[in-house]
Amino acid sequence: MSNVNENRRRRSKRSRGSTSAEKLVLEQLPWKQLQHSGGFTEVATEEQLEMIHNASMQILEEVGIDVLNDEARRIMIDAGARLDSKSGTKVFFDRGLIMECIATVPKEFTLHARNPAHSIKIGDSFINFGSVGSAPNTNSLDGGRRPGNQEDYQNFLRLTQHFNIIHFCAGYPVEPVDIHPSVRHLHCLADCVRFMDKPFHAYSLGKQRNVDALEIARIGRGISHTQLEQETSLFTVINSSSPLRLDDPMLQGIIEMSSLNQAVVLTPFTLAGAMAPVTIAGALAQQNAEALAGIAFTQMLRAGAPAVYGGFTSNVDMKSGSPAFGTPEYLRAAQISGQLARKYQLPFRSSNVNAANSMDAQSGYESTMALWGAISGGSNFIMHGAGWMEGGLSASFEKFVMDVDLLQMMAVYLEGVEVTEESLAVAVAAVKDVGPGGHFFGTQHTMDRYKNAFYAPLISDWRNFESWEEAGSPDALQKANHVYKQALEEYQQPQLDSAIDEELEEFVQRRVAEGGVATDF
């Protein structure tokens, strides 16, 4: 083993006073389409799931959903929903209609990336991790907390591309407020094509943004409009305005995306005690009503269009009203959401979320609790997988790489343990060789396997206290600061065909010249 040489190297570097600039070896796991092997935690009984289902159907039949877009209401009514004549906007859905509609959602679909090797399968037993999305602020150890800007935005794209464990970009990691909102989506999405070759997200903030996003995704992949419609190449997250409201821009997004066979991730923002009932069971019933209504609508637009069931139910701190994440209630809600999604045979989206303000122990345990919920809940699509802090109010560069470490651990966990007659026979032979009182460090069995036997972390520091102290007592935050900067240095921009690059540039320039989109809503 190389520990002696490595320690020597490390020490000699330190003695030259170059600790902080010391080059780390950032080994990472290869890109892989990860899969669950079952073993999901079934919290609710079949009977209890049915109760939640029935409560949600009762909400859809008797309370209804506020649908704030004329075209959407018309389509729903044509499909068999009933308009509430009093409000003129509320729509009631019978359970038969809902169940008939969601039956056509594909159990699994492919979200195509411009690099076919990075296309991902969503649904069934597949599991995919995304970057953080939609944070208004950036946070980093040396830069502090600041409003999102284009430079930080692009650096997050670089990290998303660089780390194999991140399968997709989950929206703008930070909102670059230094780009005018009318043209922001054009520059940002062109960056998604240029800085990455992985799948990405379009915000549903009015039809034109979706239209532009679809064109950029199409140009990026170098395909025809027909092929785009055959191959899902873009996704959007639709948050219902809980309780029970689908607002106009979101509905425009569903119409545009589903009609063209693109993916819609329907995620109600059901914080128990605030926008949903104060009980987890009640909040889940409301989540289920909102998610299924939105997903049913995707199928009214185009039967077979890909859609994902989003579970985001958490609780608020009842003293302050602050949202809480990674709590035991959140974990249970994620597990039951997974059960509901499986009941309906829908792909399931969850998240890696926490409410900590700094990358301290809280950020570590809340994130791990959230991932526990996502993994044991059988999630197929994990938003905010890396970098989310403060309940989504900031994206942290250090947290991004800490989460990369956590997600890689999840990947190793998902692989399970190799237990075969052969592997055990070889191990027993090693035990025989070593015998009582010996050790396994130098055995052939160990030498043959030690390099790849166990996950080697990016962030975790396993040195003994004395060596660690001698190195300046770096905590995980400081280590992560070092790691993310080096990852940015090591980042390589993926190749892009020059014809595509030109077409993209031409499109963006033309649309910018046209003024982008209206920003008056």
End-to-end C-alpha distance for the chain, whole angstroms = 63
Binding part of the chain for a copy of itself, among 152-160, 199-207, 344-352, 413-421 by CB under 8 A, reads: 413-421
Instruction: Say if residue 436 is exposed, middle or buried (CB neighbours under 10 Å; 0-12, 13-18, 19+).
Output: exposed
Shortest Cβ distance from residue 126 to a copy of itself (Å)? 19
Residues 6+ apart with CB under 8 A from 341: 309, 311, 347, 348, 378
Residue 116 DSSP class: G
List helix spans (H) across 108-247: 150-162, 181-195, 207-221, 225-230
**Residue 19 contacts a copy of itself per CB under 8 A:** no
β-pair type (307-310, 348-351): parallel
**Interaction residues for a copy of itself, span 206-245 (CB under 8 A):** 241, 243-245
**Interaction residues for a copy of itself, span 243-262 (CB under 8 A):** 243-245
Site map for a copy of itself, 110-149, x if CB under 8 A? -----------------------------------x----
Q: Measured from the CB atom, is 23 or 449 closer to a copy of itself?
A: 449
Distance of CA 128 to the CA centre of its chain: 7
**Interaction residues for a copy of itself, span 335-354 (CB under 8 A):** 336
**Interaction residues for a copy of itself, span 371-390 (CB under 8 A):** 372, 376, 390
Instruction: Say if residue 357 is exposed, middle or buried (CB neighbours under 10 Å; 0-12, 13-18, 19+).
Output: middle
Q: What token pair was written down for 313?
A: 């139910």
Shortest Cβ distance from residue 95 to a copy of itself (Å)? 14
Shortest Cβ distance from residue 78 to a copy of itself (Å)? 21
CA distance linking residue 395 with residue 383, whole number of Å: 13
Shortest Cβ distance from residue 36 to a copy of itself (Å)? 12
Residue 323 DSSP class: B
Distance of CA 486 to the CA centre of its chain: 23
235, 264, 287, 297 from 253: Cα distances, Å: 10, 9, 20, 12
Q: Looking at the DSSP assignment, which residues form a beta bridge with residue 121?
A: 110
Backbone φ and ψ of 110, nearest 5°: -105, 130
Shortest Cβ distance from residue 470 to a copy of itself (Å)? 11
For a copy of itself, the binding residue among 285, 308, 374, 487 (CB under 8 A) is 285
Backbone φ and ψ of 148, nearest 5°: -55, 145
Backbone φ and ψ of 75, nearest 5°: -65, -40
The packing angle between helices 328-343 and 46-58, to 10°, is 80
**Interaction residues for a copy of itself, span 151-210 (CB under 8 A):** none
**Residue 521 contacts a copy of itself per CB under 8 A:** no
Binding part of the chain for a copy of itself, among 94-102, 214-222, 259-267, 325-333 by CB under 8 A, reads: 325-333
Nearest residue to 235 (alpha-carbon basis) of 210, 272, 252: 210
**Interaction residues for a copy of itself, span 352-371 (CB under 8 A):** 355-369
Shortest Cβ distance from residue 74 to a copy of itself (Å)? 19
For a copy of itself, the binding residue among 318, 506, 510, 518 (CB under 8 A) is 318
Check if the beta carbon of residue 443 is closer than 8 Å to that of residue 388.
no
**Residue 319 contacts a copy of itself per CB under 8 A:** yes
**Interaction residues for a copy of itself, span 26-85 (CB under 8 A):** 39, 41-44, 48, 51-52, 54-55, 58-59, 62-66
Check if the beta carbon of residue 159 is closer than 8 Å to that of residue 190.
no
Shortest Cβ distance from residue 65 to a copy of itself (Å)? 7
Q: Measured from the CB atom, is 285 or 296 closer to a copy of itself?
A: 285
For a copy of itself, the binding residue among 18, 224, 259, 473 (CB under 8 A) is 473
Binding footprint of a copy of itself, residue count (CB under 8 A): 133
Check if the beta carbon of residue 260 is closer than 8 Å to that of residue 214.
yes
Q: Measured from the CB atom, is 243 or 306 closer to a copy of itself?
A: 243
**Residue 321 contacts a copy of itself per CB under 8 A:** yes
Shortest Cβ distance from residue 231 to a copy of itself (Å)? 34
Binding part of the chain for a copy of itself, among 190-198, 309-317, 492-500, 504-512 by CB under 8 A, reads: 309-317
Site map for a copy of itself, 431-470, x if CB under 8 A? xx-xxxxxxxx---xx--xxx-xxxxx-xxxxxxx--xx-
Binding part of the chain for a copy of itself, among 108-116, 190-198, 275-283, 492-500 by CB under 8 A, reads: 275-283
Q: Measured from the CB atom, is 247 or 501 closer to a copy of itself?
A: 247
Residues 6+ apart with CB under 8 A from 62: 92
Binding part of the chain for a copy of itself, among 72-80, 209-217, 294-302, 402-410 by CB under 8 A, reads: 402-410
Hey, how many other C-beta atoms are within 10 angstroms of the C-beta on 64? 21
Q: Measured from the CB atom, is 183 or 280 closer to a copy of itself?
A: 280
Which phi-psi region, left, alpha or beta, contains residue 416 (left: φ > 0; alpha: ψ -120 to 50)? left
